[in-house]
Amino acid sequence: MQVNQIQPNRLYKIASKFITHSILFLATIGIGMPFVWMLITAIKSPQEVSIFPPIWWPEVVRWDNFVTAWRTAPFGRFYINSIVTAAAGVLFGLITSSFAAYAFARIRFRYRDFFFLLMLAAMMIPGQIALIPNYVILAKLKWINTYQGIVVPHIANVFGAFLLRQYFMTIPDSLYDAAEIDGLGHLKIMLHVALPLSKPVFGTLLLYLFIQKWNAYLWPLIVTSKQNMRTLPVGLAMIRSAEYAIGPEHLMAASIFVLVPVLIIYFFAQKQLIEGIASGAVKG
C-alpha cells in the first residue's frame, strides 16, 4: 500500500520539475533571443541584414562593423562621460542612502516616522515632473554641459535608503548597544557595525545604482547639448538619427558597446546580487 502511494508522489515531483524547467527554458529563450539576434546582426553584411526570410548566421563574419560603428561617433569620449557620471552617481548615491537609512533606523528624533513616510511618498512622484525645475536651477548655476549637472540632481536615492533602512533594522540591537558601550558614535557605528553586516544588500544596491546611472538617457539628453558631454545611451541615439548614416548592423554593434560593461559587471557580481536578494527575502 505504501509503495503505491510513493510512486504517484515521485511521478508528481518529476512532472513538476519538468514543467518548471521547461517554463524557465522558454523564458530564457524569450529573454535571451533579442540579445543573440543583436550579436548576429552586428556581424552581418548589409545585404544579409536585408534578406527575408532572415538568415541566422552570416557567410563571412564582419568584425569591421564594430570598427565602423566606433569611428562613426566619438565613443571613446562617450565612454569616459558614462564612466565618470556613473561612478560619481553610484558613490554619492551609496553615501546619501547609507546616512539616510541609518538615521531612520537608529536615531530617534521627533516626527521620524512621518518624515520617513514623506520620503517614501517621493517614490510615487514621476521623475519627469522635476525635469524643468532642475534644468532652470542648473542653468542659473551654469551647470549645463557639466558632469555636476548630470550627477548632482540625482544623487539622492529613496529606494536605496528604504532598502538599507529595512536591513539595518534587522540587525540585533545588542550589537548597536555594545558599540555604544565601547564609546562609538553614530558615524562609527554605521561604518563599523551596520554597513559591514549589510554587505549583501549593499552590494545589490551598488549594482542597482550602477545600472540605473549607466543606462540613464532622458536627463543626460536634456542637460547636455555639446557632443563631448554626451553619455553612451545618448550617443547611441545620436548615431540612430539622421546625424550619422549607418546601417542596422552598425547600430547593433554600437548597442553592444553600451551593453558590454553592464554584462561584465553583472557576470562577476551575480553571486553578490543573488545573495542580496535572498537575504532581503529572508530578513526583510
- What average pLDDT does the segment 230-253 reach? 77
* Distance between CA atoms of residues 229 and 234, nearest Å: 10
Distance of CA 138 to the CA centre of its chain: 25
- What average pLDDT does the segment 109-123 reach? 88
What is the percentage of the chain residues whose pLDDT exceeds 70?
A: 90
Residues 89, 231 contacting (CB under 8 angstroms): no
* Distance between CA atoms of residues 208 and 95, nearest Å: 14
One-letter amino acid for residue 269 of the chain: A
Listed by start position, the domains of the chain span 2-42, 74-283
pLDDT digits (tens, 9 = 90+) for 169-203: 988 888 888 988 888 888 899 998 898 888 888 88
Q: Residues near 168 by Cβ (< 8 Å), separated by ≥ 6?
A: 101, 102, 105, 106, 194, 198
pTM > 0.75: yes or no? yes
What is the fold, at CATH topology level, of the domain defined by 74-283? MetI-like fold (1.10.3720)
Mean predicted lDDT score pLDDT of the chain = 84
Residues across the chain: 284
pLDDT digits (tens, 9 = 90+) for 128-173: 888 889 999 999 999 999 999 999 998 988 999 998 998 899 888 8
Owner of C-alpha cell 563571412? 60
Q: Give the torsion through C-alpha atoms of 89, 90, 95, 101, to 10 deg.
A: 110
Q: Give the pLDDT of residue 278.
A: 60
